[in-house]
């Protein structure tokens, strides 16, 4: 299909034009590619390994959660040069969707992870600017059982900071690095926040705000959106897709 048609659809479906994100996120098309898209690849990060994988898979378009312009640098050298060279020589376009993909109600990281955990979406939780990113869900589980369940779903290690109650009833889910929302979780009457990772001081935040912090891995909590988006595009437009898995362990 025409790349312009697919890119226009992605922009509208993910609402990248009006979504306020971090200044260097640059949602949308980051690197131009072929005029026709016959195969796409999706991944969490636009790393060199992922770009090489997309080229090897024969993709014309690579859709990622984390693009290549985070540092705000305008010079092209080192890893960025190698990434751009790989995309251009491999004839692969690069499209990035950061917070719009976290927040999306259908294919968003947070919504999909909640559903994979078997929980119904009860309401929105956790905002950036004027946009909600995550969701909260009603549950009824012992804390240790919930932590084990999350580990089974993300298929990786889970770290618990036991700041909240042993019995869990209301859980907020904001994937990635959202430990700064522990205060918001307490204010919203949640007893647990599931996210990917947190800094040192978040231990004391969890204890003092009396909220359980469940850290299930930044990468592990953010594979869901790109995979769901790939499946959506594949079903809607009949375009084959591949998930390029390059876990960081973080």
Q: For residue 226, which of 93, 69, 41, 74 has the smallest C-alpha distance?
A: 41
Counted residue by residue, the chain has a size of 250
Which of the residues in the chain have pLDDT under 70?
Answer: none
Burial class (CB in 10 A: 0-12, 13-18, 19+), 198: buried
> Alpha-carbon distance 212 to 240, whole Å?
40
- Write phi, then psi, for 228 (nearest 5 degrees): -65, -40
Instruction: Map residue 167 onto helix, strand or coil.
Output: strand
Q: What is the pLDDT of residue 166?
A: 98
- Angstrom distance (rounded) from CA 175 to CA 14: 17
Which CB contacts under 8 angstroms, 24+ apart, belong to 151-155?
151/216, 153/113, 153/116, 153/117, 154/113, 154/216, 154/217, 154/220, 154/221, 155/220
DSSP-derived pairing of the beta strands 131-142 and 167-173: antiparallel
Q: Does an H or E element contain 30, and which?
A: strand 28-31
List domains and CATH numbers for the chain: 3-97 (3.40.1390.30), 103-221 (3.40.1390.30)
pTM of the model: 0.96
Residues 172-187 pLDDT 10s: 999 999 999 999 999 9
Which among 144, 136, 147 has a CA at the least distance from the CA of 114?
A: 136
- pLDDT of res. 71: 82
Collect all residues with Cβ–Cβ distance below 8 Å to 98 and sequence separation of at least 6.
21, 22, 25, 27, 65, 66, 67
Contacts with 83 (C-beta within 8 Å, 6 or more apart), sequence order? 46, 47, 48, 51, 68
pLDDT at 158: 98
């Amino acid at each position: 299909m025409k790349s312009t048609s697919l890119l226009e659809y992605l922009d509208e479906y993910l609402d990248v034009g009006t979504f306020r994100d971090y200044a260097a996120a640059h949602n949308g098309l980051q690197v131009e590619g072929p005029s026709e898209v016959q195969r796409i690849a999706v991944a969490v990060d636009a790393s060199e390994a992922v770009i090489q994988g997309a080229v090897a898979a024969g993709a014309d378009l690579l859709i990622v959660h984390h693009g290549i312009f985070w540092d705000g640098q305008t010079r092209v050298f080192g890893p960025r040069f190698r990434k751009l060279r790989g995309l251009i020589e491999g004839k692969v376009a690069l499209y990035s969707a950061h917070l719009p993909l976290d927040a999306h109600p259908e294919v968003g990281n947070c919504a999909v992870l909640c559903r994979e955990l078997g929980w119904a979406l009860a309401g929105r939780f956790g905002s950036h600017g004027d946009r909600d990113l995550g969701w909260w869900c009603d549950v009824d589980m012992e804390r240790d059982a919930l932590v084990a369940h999350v580990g089974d779903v993300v298929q990786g290690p889970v770290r618990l900071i036991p700041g909240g109650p042993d019995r869990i009833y209301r859980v907020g889910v904001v994937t990635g690095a959202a430990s700064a929302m522990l205060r918001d979780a307490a204010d919203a009457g949640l007893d647990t926040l599931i996210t990917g990772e947190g800094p040192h001081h978040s231990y004391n935040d969890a204890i003092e705000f009396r909220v359980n912090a469940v850290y299930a891995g930044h990468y592990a909590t953010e594979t869901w959106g790109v995979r769901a988006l790939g499946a959506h595009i594949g079903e809607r437009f009949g375009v084959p897709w591949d998930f390029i898995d390059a876990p960081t362990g973080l």
